[in-house]
Amino acid sequence: MQSRKLILILCGLGVLLAFALGIHVYQKQQREAALLQAQAFSTLLSRQDAPTYGPATAKVRIVEFFDPACETRRAFYPLVKKIVDEQGGKVQLVVRYLPLHKGSDVAVRILEAARQQNLFWPVTEATLRAQPMWASHGNPEPEHIWEFLGPTGLDIPRAREDARSPAAQAALDQDIAAAVALKVTKTPGFYVNGRPLTEFGPEQLKALVATEVQRAYGQP
């Protein structure tokens, strides 16, 4: 009788041990899958040569999917830069291209050519100021952008060549592929440290950034 009880106890312990081991293996697999998913997500949100505003040492990154022909993006431009400036080096803006409007792919190639001359931001500002003159959605004429870029100091002949280069097209293709994978369907589209801005608006973006700054740096 005693030996029978012992056998039953040992069998029960074996079942419990197997169950615990199964849970451990499952949890490990889940952690590994989550890590791989996070790494893949991080890769989608980053591109080595993407234009940035703000210090590389910042712990909070705003990733913006950006269409230079988008009127909403034009209105958001000073607001986003102000958010970065107000955080005093804690936030960096990373720009990814997403040309959804007709003709905006040409504008994006011009901006990418300007980035190669370290003039992305002056050329972006000139392009957005001139947006009403070239970005009519009925009949866009993005080639007119060149006419507004003289004061930026851009080497225009060189930029025209760079805008047609395979490198410019590769940057555009990579950003579009990332947007498709992330299901970004409108611009501007924002992620803050990987968290999407689900409720669109300047105050909502500011609040999300503030939350991530507090999370990254703690209470001021």
- Of 27, 44, 61, the position where a domain reaches its end is 44
Residue-wise pLDDT for 87-98, tens only, equals 999 999 999 999
Find all residues with CB under 8 Å of 161, minimum gap 6, and list them.
113
pLDDT at 28: 43
- Tell me: do 38 and 120 sit in the same domain: no
Share above pLDDT 90 across residues of the chain, in percent, rounded to a whole number: 73
- Tell me: do 38 and 135 sit in the same domain: no
- Tell me: do 109 and 19 sit in the same domain: no
Residue-wise pLDDT for 118-174, tens only, equals 999 999 999 999 999 999 878 899 999 999 999 999 999 999 999 999 999 999 999
- Tell me: do 9 and 66 sit in the same domain: no
CA distance 182 to 189: 10
- Tell me: do 93 and 188 sit in the same domain: yes
Mean per-residue pLDDT, 26-36: 40
Tokens 């939350």, residue located = 211
- Structurally, the chain folds into a number of domains equal to 2
Share above pLDDT 70 across residues of the chain, in percent, rounded to a whole number: 80
32: pLDDT strictly greater than 70: no
pLDDT at 136: 84
15: pLDDT strictly greater than 90: no
Domain that holds residue 73: 52-217
- Tell me: do 86 and 124 sit in the same domain: yes
- Tell me: do 104 and 165 sit in the same domain: yes
- Tell me: do 40 and 68 sit in the same domain: no
45: pLDDT strictly greater than 80: yes
Cβ-in-10-Å burial (0-12, 13-18, 19+) of 169 comes to: middle
Please provide the average confidence, as pLDDT, over all residues in the chain.
86
Mean per-residue pLDDT, 7-31: 56
- Tell me: do 74 and 39 sit in the same domain: no
Angle (nearest 5°) at CA 67 between 61 and 70: 120
- Tell me: do 103 and 208 sit in the same domain: yes
CATH code of the domain covering residue 121: 3.40.30.10
- Tell me: do 167 and 191 sit in the same domain: yes
pLDDT-wise least confident of 25-29, 44-48, 152-156:
25-29
Strands 60-66 and 52-53: what pairing? Answer: unpaired
- Tell me: do 37 and 58 sit in the same domain: no
CA distance 49 to 77: 20
